[in-house]
Structure 1
Amino acid sequence: MTTTVIPPAVRPPAGPAHRDGNVLRWLGAYTASMIGDNVFYIALSWAAVRSGTPSQAGLVMAVSAVPRALLMLGGGVVADRFGPRRVVIGSDAVRCAAVLTVAALLFVAHPGLWLLALLAVVFGIVDAVFMPAVGALPARVTGRDQLARVQGMRGLAVRFANVVGAPLGGLGVALGGSATAFALAGLLIAVSVPLLISVRMRETPPAGGADAANTANMADAANTAPAGAEAVGPPGDPDGSPARGDASGPHARVPDAEDGAAAVPERPATAWRDLRDGLRYIRGHRVLAPLIVTIALGDLGFVGPLNVGLALLADRRGWGASGMGLVVAAFGAGAGAAALLLAWRGTLPRAGSAGAAALLGGSVAIGALAQVPGVGAAVGVALAIGLLAGLSGALCGALLQTQSDPAYLGRVTAVAGIVSLGLAPLSMPLTAAAIGWWGTGPVFAGSAVVCGLGGVVALAVRDLRRAELPR
Structure 2
Amino acid sequence: MPSSPGASPLAQRDFRLLFGGSGISAIGDQFTLVALPWLVLKLTGSPAALGLVLATMALPRAAFMLIGGAVVDRLSPRRVLLAARAVNALLVSLLAALVLGGAIHMGLVYALALGIGLATAFAYPAGSAMLPQLVAPAQLRAANALFMAMRQLSMLVGPALAGLLISVGAHGRHGNVADATGLGLAFAVDALSFVCSLVSLVLIRIHGDHHPRTPEGGVLANVVAGIRAAWADLPLRAFVLYAAVVSVFVGGPIQVGLPMLADTRLDLGAASLGILMTANGGGMLVGSMLSGLAAKLVRNRLGLMVLGIDSLAGLALAALAFDHSTLAGAALLATTGVLGGIVQVTIVSWIQHRVALEMMGRTMSLLMFTFMGLGPLSAAIAGSLLKVVSLPALFAGAGLMLTAIALTCMASPALRSIGMSSRAPAAAG
User: Which whole-Å CA distance do the structure 2 matches of 1:296 and 1:406 have between them?
Assistant: 23
Q: How does 1:40-189 map to 2 (within 5 A)?
A: 40-54=32-46, 55-174=48-167, 175=169, 176-189=181-194
User: Which whole-Å CA distance do the structure 1 matches of 2:294 and 2:385 have between them?
Assistant: 41
> Compared with structure 1, are the counterparts of its residues 74 and 385 closer, same or farther at alpha carbon in structure 2 (3 Å cutoff)?
same
User: Which whole-Å CA distance do the structure 2 matches of 1:343 and 1:27 have between them?
Assistant: 19
Q: How many residues align?
A: 406
Q: Is the 8 A contact 2:253 2:382 kept in 1?
A: yes
Give the structure 1 partner of residue 427 of structure 2.
Answer: none
Give the structure 2 partner of residue 435 of structure 1.
Answer: 386
TM-score (norm 2): 0.87
The reply on whether 1:395 has 2:346 as its aligned counterpart is: yes
What is the aligned counterpart of 1:378 among 320, 329, 335?
329
User: Which whole-Å CA distance do the structure 2 matches of 1:139 and 1:346 have between them?
Assistant: 19
The alpha carbon displacement at 1:199 in A equals 2.4
User: Which whole-Å CA distance do the structure 2 matches of 1:375 and 1:104 have between them?
Assistant: 40
User: Which entry has the higher C-alpha Rg, 1 or 2?
Assistant: 1
Q: Deviations over 1:410-466 (max 9, x none)?
A: 111111111111112222232233233221222112212443355346533324313
Give the structure 2 partner of residue 332 of structure 1.
Answer: 281
The reply on whether 1:35 has 2:27 as its aligned counterpart is: yes
> Compared with structure 1, are the counterparts of its residues 62 and 172 closer, same or farther at alpha carbon in structure 2 (3 Å cutoff)?
farther
Q: Is the 8 A contact 1:84 1:137 kept in 2?
A: yes
What is the aligned counterpart of 2:272 among 309, 316, 323?
323
2:388 counterpart SS class? helix
Give the structure 1 partner of residue 14 of structure 2.
Answer: 22
The reply on whether 1:243 has 2:194 as its aligned counterpart is: no
User: Which whole-Å CA distance do the structure 2 matches of 1:467 and 1:408 have between them?
Assistant: 19
Query: Counterpart amino acid of 1:328?
Result: M
What is the aligned counterpart of 1:465 among 416, 420, 427?
416
2:322 counterpart SS class? coil
User: Which whole-Å CA distance do the structure 1 matches of 2:347 and 2:86 have between them?
Assistant: 30
1:194 counterpart SS class? helix
Out of 370-379 and 185-194, give the one that drifted further.
370-379
The alpha carbon displacement at 1:328 in A equals 2.6
The reply on whether 1:369 has 2:361 as its aligned counterpart is: no
Q: How does 1:252-271 map to 2 (within 5 A)?
A: 252=216, 269-271=217-219
Q: Is the 8 A contact 1:288 1:403 kept in 2?
A: no
Q: Unaligned 5+ residue runs, structure 1?
A: 1-8, 204-235, 245-249, 253-268
Q: Deviations over 1:216-259 (max 9, x none)?
A: xxxxxxxxxxxxxxxxxxxx443xx7534xxxxx1x4xxxxxxx
Give the structure 2 partner of residue 297 of structure 1.
Answer: 245
Q: Is the 8 A contact 2:252 2:382 kept in 1?
A: yes
Give the structure 1 partner of residue 203 of structure 2.
Answer: 198
> Compared with structure 1, are the counterparts of its residues 403 and 48 closer, same or farther at alpha carbon in structure 2 (3 Å cutoff)?
same
User: Which whole-Å CA distance do the structure 2 matches of 1:92 and 1:440 have between them?
Assistant: 39
1:63 counterpart SS class? helix
Out of 454-463 and 77-86, give the one that drifted further.
454-463
Q: Unaligned 5+ residue runs, structure 2?
A: 170-180, 423-429
- Whose helix fraction is larger, Structure 1's or Structure 2's? 2
2:387 counterpart SS class? helix
Q: Is the 8 A contact 1:435 1:443 kept in 2?
A: yes
Q: Is the 8 A contact 1:136 1:413 kept in 2?
A: yes
2:192 counterpart SS class? helix
Q: Is the 8 A contact 2:320 2:396 kept in 1?
A: no
> Compared with structure 1, are the counterparts of its residues 199 and 450 closer, same or farther at alpha carbon in structure 2 (3 Å cutoff)?
farther
> Compared with structure 1, are the counterparts of its residues 91 and 343 closer, same or farther at alpha carbon in structure 2 (3 Å cutoff)?
farther
User: Which whole-Å CA distance do the structure 1 matches of 2:296 and 2:103 have between them?
Assistant: 52
Give the structure 1 partner of residue 399 of structure 2.
Answer: 448
> Compared with structure 1, are the counterparts of its residues 453 and 237 closer, same or farther at alpha carbon in structure 2 (3 Å cutoff)?
farther
The alpha carbon displacement at 1:347 in A equals 5.5
Query: Counterpart amino acid of 1:185?
Result: D
Give the structure 2 partner of residue 272 of structure 1.
Answer: 220
Root-mean-square deviation (Å): 2.4
User: Which whole-Å CA distance do the structure 2 matches of 1:28 and 1:470 have between them?
Assistant: 30
> Compared with structure 1, are the counterparts of its residues 80 and 454 closer, same or farther at alpha carbon in structure 2 (3 Å cutoff)?
farther
> Compared with structure 1, are the counterparts of its residues 457 and 412 closer, same or farther at alpha carbon in structure 2 (3 Å cutoff)?
farther
2:19 counterpart SS class? helix
Q: Is the 8 A contact 2:266 2:325 kept in 1?
A: no
Q: Is the 8 A contact 1:80 1:242 kept in 2?
A: no
> Compared with structure 1, are the counterparts of its residues 68 and 448 closer, same or farther at alpha carbon in structure 2 (3 Å cutoff)?
same
> Compared with structure 1, are the counterparts of its residues 460 and 344 closer, same or farther at alpha carbon in structure 2 (3 Å cutoff)?
closer
User: Which whole-Å CA distance do the structure 1 matches of 2:366 and 2:405 have between them?
Assistant: 17
1:467 counterpart SS class? coil
TM-score (norm 1): 0.80
Out of 375-384 and 148-157, give the one that drifted further.
375-384
The alpha carbon displacement at 1:340 in A equals 1.5
> Compared with structure 1, are the counterparts of its residues 66 and 11 closer, same or farther at alpha carbon in structure 2 (3 Å cutoff)?
closer
